[in-house]
C-alpha cells in the first residue's frame, strides 16, 4: 500500500482526505510542481519498475521524478487510497508531430477518475505538456486551467486532448476509454524504457510545472515559460551547469553524475 503521509509530505499537501473534486484538483496541481517528469533511468540504460514499493522509494523517498507510467501509477495509488474510483487508460502521443505522421504506439498512461458529477481525465505524467488540473471527460468543452486552456475533441472511437496556443489548437495525445490492465502498462513501460527505438532512450526529457513557471529540458535546451506566455530559452553549456539545473529547476538528484554522460547529449 502507498504511504499517504509520506506522499502528502512530498507534494506539500495538508488538506482533507476526501474523495471529491476539490481534493483531486489540489493534488493534481501539487504533484507536478513537486515531482518532476524525467526519463533519466531509460536514458542511462537503467530498468524502470512499476512496483509500488520501488516507485515510493524513487519518487517519494528520493529526490527523483519519473515518466507517465511511474507518475500516474503512483498518483492512482494515492487516489485509490483516498477512496476515488480510478481506471488506467492508454494513449498515443501527438505532441509536436506533423498531422500526417503515422500513429505511434499506445505508450502514454493516463487516468479516468469517476466522481459524482461524472468522469474526469487526470494525468500528472505527460512530460511534453504537463497538466495542472483534471479535466471533465466531455467532448468539445473548453476548460481553463492554471496552465492553459484545453479541450477534448472526438474522433472515430477516440478522444484527442488539445491545448490552445495563441489562436491555434495543438494536439497533445489521443486515447480511448478502454480500461487497461496492469499487464498493458507493463508492456508499454517496457517499450518506453527498453526498446532501442524508444525516444526515451535517446533524448533527455524533463518538465516541472509550478504556478509560477513551466520549466522544460530537452537534451541541452532549457525553456522557462511563464503564465503570461513569455519564455526564456538557453543552452546548457557544461555538466556542472546541468547538475545545478537538475537540482534547482527540477529538484532532482541524478542517479549518475552528469559529467559521465553530458557529452553524449546532442545540442
Question: What are the catalytic residues?
Answer: 68, 108, 123
- The grid cell for 245 is 539545473
Nearest to 110 by CA among 162, 59, 177: 177
- The grid cell for 34 is 513537486
Question: Torsions phi, psi of 229, nearest 5?
Answer: 95, -10
Beta bridge partners of 216: 207, 223
- Sorted by sequence, the CB contacts under 8 Å of residue 145 that are 6+ apart come out as 131, 132, 133, 135
Q: Say which DSSP state 60 is in.
A: I
Nearest to 32 by CA among 127, 113, 151, 149: 127
Amino acid at each position: 500500500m502507498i504511504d499517504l503521509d509520506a506522499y502528502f509530505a512530498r507534494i506539500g499537501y495538508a488538506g482533507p482526505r476526501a474523495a471529491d473534486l476539490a481534493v483531486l484538483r489540489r493534488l493534481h496541481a501539487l504533484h507536478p510542481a513537486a515531482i518532476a517528469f524525467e526519463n533519466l533511468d531509460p536514458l542511462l540504460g537503467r530498468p524502470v519498475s512499476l512496483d509500488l514499493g520501488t516507485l515510493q522509494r524513487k519518487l517519494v523517498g528520493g529526490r527523483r521524478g519519473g515518466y507517465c507510467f511511474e507518475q500516474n501509477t503512483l498518483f492512482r495509488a494515492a487516489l485509490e487510497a483516498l477512496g476515488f474510483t480510478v481506471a488506467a487508460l492508454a494513449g498515443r502521443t501527438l505532441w509536436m508531430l506533423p498531422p500526417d505522421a503515422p500513429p505511434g504506439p499506445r505508450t502514454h498512461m493516463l487516468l479516468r477518475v469517476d466522481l459524482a458529477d461524472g468522469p474526469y481525465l487526470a494525468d500528472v505524467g505527460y512530460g511534453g505538456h504537463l497538466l495542472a488540473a483534471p479535466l471533465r471527460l466531455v467532448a468539445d468543452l473548453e476548460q481553463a486551467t492554471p496552465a492553459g486552456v484545453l479541450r477534448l475533441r472526438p474522433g472515430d472511437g477516440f478522444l484527442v486532448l488539445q491545448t490552445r496556443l495563441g489562436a491555434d489548437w495543438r494536439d497533445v495525445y489521443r486515447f480511448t476509454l478502454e480500461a487497461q490492465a496492469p499487464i498493458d502498462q507493463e508492456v508499454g513501460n517496457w517499450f518506453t524504457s527498453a526498446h532501442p527505438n524508444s525516444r526515451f532512450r535517446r533524448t533527455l526529457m524533463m518538465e516541472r510545472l509550478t504556478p509560477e513557471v513551466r520549466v522544460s529540458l530537452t537534451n541541452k535546451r532549457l525553456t522557462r515559460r511563464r503564465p503570461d506566455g513569455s519564455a526564456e530559452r538557453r543552452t546548457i553549456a557544461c555538466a556542472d551547469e546541468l547538475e545545478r539545473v537538475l537540482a534547482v529547476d527540477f529538484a532532482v538528484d541524478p542517479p549518475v553524475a552528469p559529467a559521465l554522460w553530458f557529452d553524449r547529449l546532442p545540442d
